[in-house]
Structure 1
Amino acid sequence: MTDPHLYRHLDEMAPWNDRLQMLEVIGVTDEAPEVKTFTFRSDAQTWFRYKPGQFVTLELPAADGPLMRTYTLSSSPSRPCSISITVKAQAGSIGTRWMFDNLKPGVRIRAFGPMGDFSHHNHPAPKYLFISAGSGITPMMSMLRWLNDCAPWTDVSFVNCARRPEEIIFRKELELLGTQMPGLSLGFMIEERSSSRESWFGHMGRIDAVRLPLLAPDFQEREVFCCGPDPFMRAVRGMFEAAGFDMRFYHQESFGAPPVEPLPIGTDAPEAEKSIGAKLPIRFADSSVDGECLAGQTVLQAARASGVRISAACEFGLCGTCRVKKIAGEVEMNHNGGILDDEITEGFILACCSRPLTALEIEA
């Protein structure tokens, strides 16, 4: 019997809260060789509020202990009752292989987010260029799906690179969208022909300074979003820089740690910075553990030294996984967008990038 609560109107439902709810798998779809889309709903039948292009961090209950894995959403917030991630199983991948083997309809897992700044909502423009390779297509698909639902007349040049034709993720849907969105221009580029009998009459090779203008002749006039493997993103960024592109309008998705400036601790440092160098007591209330935060340690490092587990993934303040509530005390927190202002107001901190300034008590 179908749950009658499934038929509530959106204004009768609360938004998703990753501190209170879990995700339940409702669908698994094969997209391309070694690529699957996993679709989830909230186990409390809440709705999802996020920006297209953002990501979530999943806590995968593997046999050897929880695995934290970050994935960009491929779904659109214009369809808020479910979210989807599309993942490719790379050689030697552990988390993705666990998902392929274990995530079936009905399975529930914890998730954190959505978070992230890689979204066209943050950079409104009259014309876009979405350029991607491999599974880097996922945030572009999220943004394009939103545009199709909410602004289908938008001028979008969509370029995707793959090794073979059958490895172009979402190819059929993209070709369908190409017939529905009058401003959408599709450009596919492959490195080698298909091992099957499928014919290919499109572009071949790797994208470079010659092929880019063929795929997007007016790229200089567009707001650019790029995502893919690191070598691909480095090459594309280099092309745009060499072409004299105004890099204020170039954005790329990356889960790599940004460079960290050394913290000056010394007689001439501000008082707040000096206090970070002191050994301070820290209480983990939920675990009833009293520990110490040594000079230079973050709250996350102090928790691990005290045997207290705080979930963490990126560990440089981007993903928001290590968000915990501060009961008492003060910290200095230098994050990279992994926590919202209203969460900070409520007393939450990111353990990975917070250093105590005073004795501290947190919910952990």
Structure 2
Amino acid sequence: MSGGDFHSAFRPAAPWREDEPLECTMVIPEAPGVASFCFRAPSGAWFDHAPGQFLTLELPLPTGTVHRTFTISSSPSRPLSITLTVKAQEGSLGTRWMLDHLTPGTRLRAFGPAGVFTLPDAAPRKYLFISAGSGITPMLAMTTWIWDSGFEPDIAFVHCARRPQDLIFRQRLEHMASRTPGLKLHWVVKEDDPYRTWTGYRGRFNQLMLGLMAPDYLDREVFCCGPESFMQSVRDMLNALGYDMERYHQESFHAPAATEAEVPEIDDVVPSDDRTAELHFASSGVTATCRETDTVLTVARASGLNIPSGCTFGVCGTCKVKKTEGDVVMVHSGGIADDDIEAGYILACCSRPIGRVSVEV
């Protein structure tokens, strides 16, 4: 192939249309159980999409054809190909088939792109990207888009994983961050890798970490993606910190929304100064009326009761008590285990009562 023929082969002809199958051209291992699949249109068509959108693939499983949706991890600023990064989830047939059988040369039907989880406009803004697991894929697309736009990025990028080896796109993002001061990366892991040293954040992502990572979080537009429980904890954290939730955007990688009408309404319980609650301290026989924004620890002290406490912001776990009735909003910083929460325990220092609540104090 001559030089002219080579360049003409990569010159986009027209936008890609759904009636043309996509051809897998590369498979890139990213982390244990994670791979990126790069696709091109055989005709040379280019791809038009917004950063953060998703694509639906038609997969020919032995048990029958299935359709699976994946966020596009590549940026529309690089339109000659489109990349989907997938992670093997427990019980997932489609993802497992892709990891085991999808190889370069395979052609698949695809539908889209679609989705409303994307940057609001082209103007530079201050962003806070928060993700967990494969929820990092739209964040990479958005970060690359901002990078390629020529604007100096102002991104605080927070990603959480089980172990350092599970941090998807770590090297790619660290290379980008090494070239500009405007991209600040913050990795959080729950466990160390057995054969390497980890010097970053450990544990559950919490308010203390957020304050260290992005002290100006109130000024940033927040985009969040990950498991439902993770996004719920992020919302609880931001609500408790007084963040303007009109500037909060989220996308579940299990059920991405194709249109604004499909975006589920978020109806979080947010304690209010204008609503009263009732705390019953069962062991002491004391009942007190308070505001929803008061903590169980504050109300106990005002009632002359002693709950042992230490840090008072949900880290040490000293103030753990058993809740026997009612609901609280608890935004802790890692001082209580999930098993204890399921068993009914709360941290008095960071739990706020909703309605009538009874605790064993």
> Structure 1 length normalisation: TM-score?
0.68
Q: Which runs of 4+ in 1 moved over 6 A?
A: 1-6
Cα distance, 1:238 vs. partner?
Answer: 1.0
Deviates more, 1:92-101 or 1:6-15: 6-15
Tell me the equivalent position of 2:233. Answer: 235
Q: Which amino acid aligns with 1:186?
A: L
Long gaps (5+) in structure 2: 264-361
Q: Is residue 189 of structure 2 the alignment partner of residue 190 of structure 1?
A: yes
> Which deviations, in whole Å up to 9, do the C-alpha atoms of 1:133-173 show, x marking residues without a partner?
01000000001111121135121110100111111001111
Q: CA, structure 1 residues 32+122, in 2 after alignment: closer, same or farther (shift >3 Å)?
A: same
Q: Which amino acid aligns with 1:33?
A: P
Structure 1 Cα separation of the partners of residues 176 and 25 of structure 2: 24
CA contact (8 A) 1:6 1:45 kept: no
Cα distance, 1:215 vs. partner?
Answer: 1.5
CA contact (8 A) 2:56 2:67 kept: yes
Cα distance, 1:105 vs. partner?
Answer: 0.5
Q: Which amino acid aligns with 1:163?
A: R
Cα distance, 1:229 vs. partner?
Answer: 0.8
Structure 2 Cα separation of the partners of residues 125 and 218 of structure 1: 16
Q: Which amino acid aligns with 1:231?
A: S
Cα distance, 1:183 vs. partner?
Answer: 0.6
Structure 2 Cα separation of the partners of residues 227 and 117 of structure 1: 13
Matches for 1:1-364 after TM superposition, within 5 Å? 7-8=7-8, 13-18=13-18, 20-122=19-121, 124=123, 126-195=125-194, 197-254=195-252, 318-319=257-258, 336=262
Q: CA, structure 1 residues 47+123, in 2 after alignment: closer, same or farther (shift >3 Å)?
A: closer
Tell me the equivalent position of 1:287. Answer: none
Cα distance, 1:182 vs. partner?
Answer: 2.3
Local SS of the residue matching 2:176: helix
> Structure 2 length normalisation: TM-score?
0.68
Local SS of the residue matching 1:47: coil
Q: CA, structure 1 residues 35+256, in 2 after alignment: closer, same or farther (shift >3 Å)?
A: closer
Q: CA, structure 1 residues 33+255, in 2 after alignment: closer, same or farther (shift >3 Å)?
A: closer
Deviates more, 1:5-14 or 1:87-96: 5-14
Long gaps (5+) in structure 1: 258-313, 321-333, 338-364
Q: Which has the larger radius of gyration?
A: 2
Structure 2 Cα separation of the partners of residues 64 and 145 of structure 1: 37
Structure 2 Cα separation of the partners of residues 124 and 248 of structure 1: 18
CA contact (8 A) 1:134 1:161 kept: yes
Q: CA, structure 1 residues 87+238, in 2 after alignment: closer, same or farther (shift >3 Å)?
A: same
Q: CA, structure 1 residues 7+169, in 2 after alignment: closer, same or farther (shift >3 Å)?
A: same
Cα distance, 1:254 vs. partner?
Answer: 2.6
Structure 2 Cα separation of the partners of residues 222 and 251 of structure 1: 12
Tell me the equivalent position of 2:317. Answer: none
Structure 2 Cα separation of the partners of residues 106 and 256 of structure 1: 28
Structure 1 Cα separation of the partners of residues 71 and 85 of structure 2: 8
Cα distance, 1:116 vs. partner?
Answer: 0.6
Structure 1 Cα separation of the partners of residues 32 and 24 of structure 2: 21
